Amino acid sequence: MRFPLNVVACCLLLLAQPTFAKTPSRCSLIKSRADNWVTGRVNSLVTSARAAYESDDGLPAYHRVLDGIDRTLRRCKLSEDADFSNSHREFVEYVATISLDRKPDHELGFNVPDKQYFDETRSFVEIPDYLLQPAFLKLVSRWETLDKAKTFLRQLNSTRSASDQLIFFSYISRHLGTPDNDNSYRRLLIVVPGNLALGIPDKWVQFGISDPGQRVLTRNLSVVSAMINANGTFDAYFKDYFRTYRRNGSINVKGRWELGEGDDNCAQCHKSGVLPIFPAEGSVSSEEQEAVEIVNARFRSYGSPRFGNYLDQTKLGPGLSTAGWEDRSHRFGKDFAATNVSRAMTCQSESTHTTRESVCGSMGTSSFWVSRTAAPASCRMNPNRC
């Protein structure tokens, strides 16, 4: 009696099966070689992020690397693995934080959906009514009528108390366009003083100004507010608005996100919350130089930035900044200079209008990945100088 060959082969396989060792799963291999896997992922992330920093063309590759790391962390439940998370906590928390804006309803990069953020922070980022008057909106829409817009603001100041004066000046950004026009660099900044006792934040209201002779007008209008806390910190809140120019000459202002125009990750470029202003050389008139000094001094008085529980900035490490050792000691403690983070920072002296300070960035910690590499090309220069 002869058995068919296929039956014999099947029996042999069944008999031999116990002798084969079970192939480890990918997750098991990662956990057994955690240090090697993390090192490889860090290198890939930094390399791809650097390419994205150099050119927006590199963003898709960076996003693929980041998404792959985040997907593996979740699939293998590595953040729930005590050994892995204890050894690589900073890596796990960093990836989770920078992956927030990869969710479709988290374009702002915060830990709540965008709609919830705007609903809850509305009172902090509303534009004052007097800056929405039709006459002012028309004047501030063009470079040719900007002087008249400033006259309008001076008239407003004539009716306001000394402590409630609007601080304003126009300037040209060194390299950053507006969200609606990459080639629009002209700005009018108006700092509206808040009232700490009444829980009203300072509001930095900035209009993008159309270049002379432009037929397509710049739409962007942004608000960054600073709510000062008693513990030496402040909470920053953000909102971009777009102006819509109607055929009848009217100008409507509405949130960029509400218009369905998308939004950007706020903290990616605004790691210090409010940003100090370093205009293009010669773009600020001599009469308004003092206003630049006043608003930058106001920025320095705010303390360490926070984001109202919508983002844990400690997961990103320290970002780039323009500050002296005295300021860094005030923000991070007198022993900061002796820490590993401080020693990892590379500083370069730089002269400002009135002081000589240092531009510092961490070259060996996760903050470097965000501040200098993972940021898009629109923030490829020092983010605090955008």
Question: Residue 71: is its pLDDT beyond 90?
Answer: yes
User: Which of 249, 250, 223 has its CA nearest to residue 237?
Assistant: 223
Task: Report pLDDT for 51.
Answer: 92
The answer for 321, left when phi > 0, alpha when psi is -120 to 50, beta otherwise, is: beta
Cα 267 from chain centre? 2
Residue 7 is predicted with a pLDDT of: 45
pTM of the full structure? 0.76
Q: Is the pLDDT at 256 greater than 50, yes or no?
A: yes
Cβ proximity of 306 and 234 under 8 Å: yes
pLDDT of residue 357: 38
Instruction: Say yes or no to pLDDT of 349 above 70.
Output: no
Per-residue pLDDT, 183:
85
Cα 321 from Cα 272, distance rounded (Å): 8
Q: Is 147 exposed, middle or buried (0-12, 13-18, 19+ CB in 10 A)?
A: exposed
Measured CA to CA, the distance from residue 74 to residue 250 in angstroms comes to 50
Residue 266: what pLDDT?
Answer: 79
What are the pLDDT digits (tens) for 270-306?
Answer: 777 888 898 999 999 999 999 999 999 999 899 888 9
How far apart are the C-alpha atoms of 199 and 189, rounded to whole Å? 22
Is 68's pLDDT higher than 70? yes
3-state secondary structure of 350: strand
What's the CA gap between 311 and 114, in Å, rounded? Answer: 13
Query: Which of the pair, 130 or 197, is modelled with greater confidence?
Result: 130
The reported pLDDT for the residue numbered 125 is: 96
Q: What is the pLDDT of residue 317?
A: 67
Using DSSP bridges, classify how beta strands 345-351 and 321-323 pair: parallel, antiparallel or unpaired.
Answer: unpaired
What integer pLDDT is reported at residue 363 of this predicted model? Answer: 31
209 within 8 A of 187, measured Cβ to Cβ: yes
Share of the chain above pLDDT 90, in %: 58
Mean pLDDT score, 193-204: 93
pLDDT at 131: 97
For all residues of the chain together, what is the average pLDDT?
82
| pLDDT value for 235 | 94
| pLDDT digits 0-9 by tens, 168-195 | 999 999 888 888 888 899 999 999 999 9
Average pLDDT over residues 57-64: 94
What confidence tens digit (pLDDT) does each residue in 302-341 have?
A: 988 899 999 988 887 655 555 566 766 766 677 777 776 6
